[in-house]
């Protein structure tokens, strides 16, 4: 047995044992992980299998075939994780929204202390009050320089 085989087999075994003892998961995930680990063990123990697989698929070397499959499954895993993050994000937003709405401050609830800076801003607005006037009687806004006549 070559050193690399020993290293890889140990990694597969430890990874699988850790997964089954520590992580909770759905049945489908367990089956998938188990199949993945088994395939890994077989491929590492009997490297010729991958060569046989490669020839059957028309790929030059066994290692290449394995890399191609790895690429596909890794990209798939990335997409799955991304979808998961998005759905978690949506749930987080719902949670934050309900917290915000539960703790709504009503217009009547005012803090007494208004900093002087804001008082000054207030006074300025009172001076400009006519600038923000409501629509005139005919329901049209008074300020419509952009509407062409006719």
Partner 1 sequence: MEQEAMRGATAESRFVVVPAYNEASVIHSTVRPLIDAGFSVVVVDDGSNDGTWETIQQLPVYGLRHPINLGQGAALQTGMTFALSQGADYVIHFDADGQHRPIDIHVVLQPLLDGQAEVSLGSRFLCRSSAAAVPYRRRLFLRGATYVNFLLTGVLLSDAHNGLRALTRNAAQRIQFREHGYAHASEILHQIRSHRLAYAERPTTVVYSEYSIAKGQSLWNGFNIVFELLLTKLFK
8 A C-beta contact, residue 50 and residue 66: yes
For residue 135, give the DSSP letter. P
Nearer to partner 1, 129 or 149 (CB): 129
Nearer to partner 1, 3 or 103 (CB): 103
Residues 60-99 that bind partner 1 (CB under 8 A): 82-83, 86, 89-90, 92-93, 96-97, 99
DSSP class per residue in 27-87: HHHHHHHHHHHHHHHHHHH-THHHHHHHHHHT-S-HHHHHHHHHHHHHHHHHHHHHHHHHH
Backbone dihedral region for residue 39 (phi beyond 0: left; psi -120 to 50: alpha; all else: beta): alpha
137 binds partner 1, rule: CB under 8 A: no
> CA-to-CA distance for 38 and 18, rounded, in angstroms?
15
Binding residue for partner 1, selected from 28, 56, 137, 147, defined by CB under 8 A: 147
Per-residue contact track with partner 1, 36 to 65, x per CB under 8 A? Answer: ------------------------------
Which residue stretch of 14-22, 33-41, 51-59, 120-128 sits at the interface with partner 1 (rule: CB under 8 A)?
Answer: 120-128
134 binds partner 1, rule: CB under 8 A: yes
- Total residues in contact with partner 1, by rule CB under 8 A: 43
105 binds partner 1, rule: CB under 8 A: yes
Largest CA distance in the chain: 94
Note the residues at the interface with partner 1 (CB under 8 A): 82-83, 86, 89-90, 92-93, 96-97, 99-101, 103-111, 113-115, 118, 121-122, 124-125, 129, 131-135, 139-141, 143-147
């Amino acid at each position: 047995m070559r050193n690399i085989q020993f290293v890889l087999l140990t990694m597969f075994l430890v990874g699988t044992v850790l997964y089954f003892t520590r992580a909770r998961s759905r049945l489908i995930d367990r089956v998938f992980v188990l199949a993945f680990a088994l395939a890994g063990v077989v491929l590492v123990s009997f490297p010729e299998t991958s060569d046989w697989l490669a020839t059957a698929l028309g790929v030059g070397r066994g290692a290449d075939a394995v890399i191609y499959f790895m690429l596909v499954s890794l990209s798939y895993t990335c997409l799955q994780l991304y979808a998961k993050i998005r759905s978690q994000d949506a749930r987080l937003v719902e949670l934050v929204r309900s917290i915000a709405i539960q703790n709504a401050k009503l217009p009547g609830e005012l803090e007494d202390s208004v900093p002087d800076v804001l008082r000054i801003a207030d006074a300025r607005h009172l001076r400009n009050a006519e600038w923000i006037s409501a629509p005139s009687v005919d329901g049209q806004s008074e300020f419509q320089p952009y509407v062409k006549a006719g």
